[in-house]
A and B are shown apart, each in its own frame.
Chain A
């Protein structure tokens, strides 16, 4: 097999592969930066909880109007925001710590979502909702994903400074500006939006994978923020493309293939990453002069 046959032909020959390609590339543009900030804000688990939280909303949309893009998107958005706000409120208003309250929320959401989908749909529908159908993306979904990525990048440009500052030195931000709270809410909304976008391609369970794994991978290579965000986006895009090819050639399901490729990148980064990677720690090079 030539390189052309392996790398290009699948996309050249099949329209569904081209759509999937555009879909994952657009998704990566939003998921990369959002994932990087989730990680830096120590909110990786929050992303996970919100991804699960989307499920019952999307499931109610499914219950009411079947596999309808609009209904499931709106349902997912509402549910995601409810979980984001609800977990925060429970953590602040009661003695429950935020991680435990998030865990409670996402377990309930997952069970509820599976229950609702099963009420009406088949097991196939359930698989669709849980793991997505990146090979079945239609025009409307592509537009939705591209729109979400555009909104994400524009919003991040606006809230970049307070977002960074709130991670590094929250007291300082609070002393010079009141933008901290607003930017946090805007950021949470972006997380929900990107998860909803990712959910159509990768399903509720895996959508967060395209955010967290590339960001965690990039952290082993990048020492500054710009590099981190750029690299996370590139890793997400590369995982998307490679995952689609793997899935095409091996006949494997595409969503899991994409996330597994990202997972392999992460494993390699843990081992060989120059910034705090395992090998570098176990086999230190000789120290420098100064």
Chain B
């Protein structure tokens, strides 16, 4: 199964019979296909369908149990990853400005200075997410929405070719979601590849041209309208969530 995007686009990620999981139990099972450069792809599916696992696999945090992921020459520095409910120590005494400045790691690294030009870029990123005036606020004083805006500002500065978002709009109000979705649209127009794990089908239908419907194995992958058809959604919902403790080795041909 593969996304039949226009043939002229270059491949950005190629999954070949990819199986990812934990303790030999597959969470993503035999996924093959290609994400083309510049694709705006929603990853949907029930809880436990392997959506987050797939993103972790792409970042390299999780080794495949089988098959492989070809990133077509992208290095880890070209990938920006926003994990689900990022494990951030909100009590750490650091300001919004410094938090966002971390997005410059790719350029500044361990020792590179943050010059006047970088400060301008940081200010611009803060403005783009609507957080002007928050520069000196400690991150511990931010609301959930403001924190997510901060993380998006950091993503902006990362200037990555591939952007992976894991449930980026959960528990946010409508205006915050609208602002952040606008940023995702901007990345799409800039030709970056964006993959986002989402649960809100309405939003996916409106904003994401391509969808991968995952239920451990791929259920559908293609234009959102087709992928999220009622039959496909029903199929995805039937997937059993539980591991089978006594599952035997998978014998499906590689």
Question: Is B89 an interface residue, CB under 8 A from the partner?
Answer: yes
Question: Is B92 an interface residue, CB under 8 A from the partner?
Answer: yes
Within B78-120, which residues are at the interface with A (CB < 8 Å)?
A: 79-81, 83, 86-89, 92-95, 99, 102, 105-106, 109-111
- Output the nearest chain A residue to B136 by Cβ-Cβ distance: A224
| Of A176, A222, A224, A225, most B-chain CB atoms within 10 Å | A176
Say yes or no: A224-B94 contact (C-beta < 8 A), given A161-B110, A177-B105: yes
Say yes or no: A224-B93 contact (C-beta < 8 A), given A161-B110, A171-B87: yes
Say whether A172 contacts B102, CB under 8 Å: yes
Say whether A167 contacts B89, CB under 8 Å: yes
**CB-defined contacts of A222 to chain B, threshold 8 Å:** 93
Within A214-234, which residues are at the interface with B (CB < 8 Å)?
A: 222-225, 227-228
Give bound CA distance, A63 to B81, whole Å.
Answer: 54
Question: Is B61 an interface residue, CB under 8 A from the partner?
Answer: yes
Within A221-274, which residues are at the interface with B (CB < 8 Å)?
A: 222-225, 227-228
Question: Is B185 an interface residue, CB under 8 A from the partner?
Answer: no
Say whether B138 contacts A179, CB under 8 Å: no
Within A131-177, which residues are at the interface with B (CB < 8 Å)?
A: 158, 161-162, 164-165, 167-172, 174-177
A236 → chain B, closest Cβ, in Å?
A: 18
Give bound CA distance, A225 to B50, whole Å.
Answer: 38
Say yes or no: A170-B81 contact (C-beta < 8 A), given A222-B93, A228-B93: no
Query: Which of B76, B94, B102 touches A225 (beta carbons < 8 Å)?
Result: B94
**CB-defined contacts of A40 to chain B, threshold 8 Å:** 92-93
Question: Is B146 an interface residue, CB under 8 A from the partner?
Answer: no
Say whether B81 contacts A169, CB under 8 Å: no
Say whether B94 contacts A168, CB under 8 Å: yes
Give bound CA distance, A174 to B77, whole Å.
Answer: 10
Say whether B92 contacts A167, CB under 8 Å: yes
Within A26-53, which residues are at the interface with B (CB < 8 Å)?
A: 40
Give bound CA distance, A158 to B111, whole Å.
Answer: 7
A103 → chain B, closest Cβ, in Å?
A: 24
- Output the nearest chain B residue to A159 by Cβ-Cβ distance: B110
A76 → chain B, closest Cβ, in Å?
A: 30
Say whether A176 contacts B93, CB under 8 Å: no
Say yes or no: A168-B59 contact (C-beta < 8 A), given A158-B110, A224-B95: no
Say whether A170 contacts B87, CB under 8 Å: yes
**CB-defined contacts of A165 to chain B, threshold 8 Å:** 102
Give bound CA distance, A169 to B86, whole Å.
Answer: 8
Give bound CA distance, A7 to B250, whole Å.
Answer: 78
Could you jot down 25 A-B contacts, CB within 8 Å? A161-B105, A161-B110, A162-B110, A167-B92, A168-B89, A169-B86, A169-B88, A169-B102, A171-B86, A171-B87, A172-B86, A172-B102, A175-B59, A175-B76, A175-B81, A176-B76, A176-B77, A176-B158, A177-B110, A222-B93, A223-B93, A224-B93, A224-B95, A225-B92, A227-B93
Known: A169-B89, A170-B87. 8 other contacts (CB 8 A): A40-B92, A40-B93, A164-B92, A164-B94, A169-B102, A176-B77, A176-B105, A176-B158
The 3 closest A-B pairs by CB, nearest first: A176-B105, A168-B92, A175-B81
A residues whose Cβ falls under 8 Å from a Cβ of B = 40, 158, 161-162, 164-165, 167-172, 174-177, 179, 222-225, 227-228
